[in-house]
Amino acid sequence: ETGVTQSPTHLIKTRGQQVTLRCSSQSGHNTVSWYQQALGQGPQFIFQYYREEENGRGNFPPRFSGLQFPNYSSELNVNALELDDSALYLCASAGQGRLDTQYFGPGTRLTVL
C-alpha cells in the first residue's frame, strides 16, 4: 500500500506568480484535504475534495483553488502569490467514512520572494 505523495518537494516563486502543487492520495482513499502550515504553526485547513467535488473550505481567499481527478489525485493552485503564502503545503487523504484518520504526505515547501 503506497502512502500519500506530493510534488514538488520545494518550490521558489516570486510575488504575483502562480503555482500548482500535486498530491497522490493513499491507495483506496477517495477524500483529499489540503492544509497550509506556516513556520512554527499548526496546519490550517484550506479545502477538501470528495469524488472530484469541493465539499468544504477554510478561511482562504478564492485565489486558492483545487481539483481532484478520477484517480483521486489532487492539485492545489494558488494565483497572485503573496509573501505570506510562504509555507509548507500538506495534502492528507482518507478512506470513505474514515475522515477521523487522515494520513499526510511529506508536504511541498513553497517560498515566495
Residues that bind another protein (CB under 8 A): 4, 6, 33, 35, 40-45, 48, 55-56, 58, 88, 90, 92, 97, 99-107, 109
CB of 16 to another protein, least distance (A): 27
CB of 103 to another protein, least distance (A): 6
Q: Nearer to another protein by C-beta: 80 or 95? A: 95
Show the CA angle centred on residue 15, arms to residues 69 and 81, nearest 5°: 30
Report DSSP state, residue 86.
-
CB of 79 to another protein, least distance (A): 23
- b or e along 56-90 (b: 16 or more beta carbons within 10 Å of the residue's beta carbon)? eeeebeeebbbebeeebbbbbebeebeeebbbbbb
Q: Nearer to another protein by C-beta: 11 or 88? A: 88
> How many CB atoms sit inside 10 A of residue 97's CB?
8
CB of 80 to another protein, least distance (A): 24
H or E element at residue 87: strand 87-94
Q: Nearer to another protein by C-beta: 16 or 28? A: 28
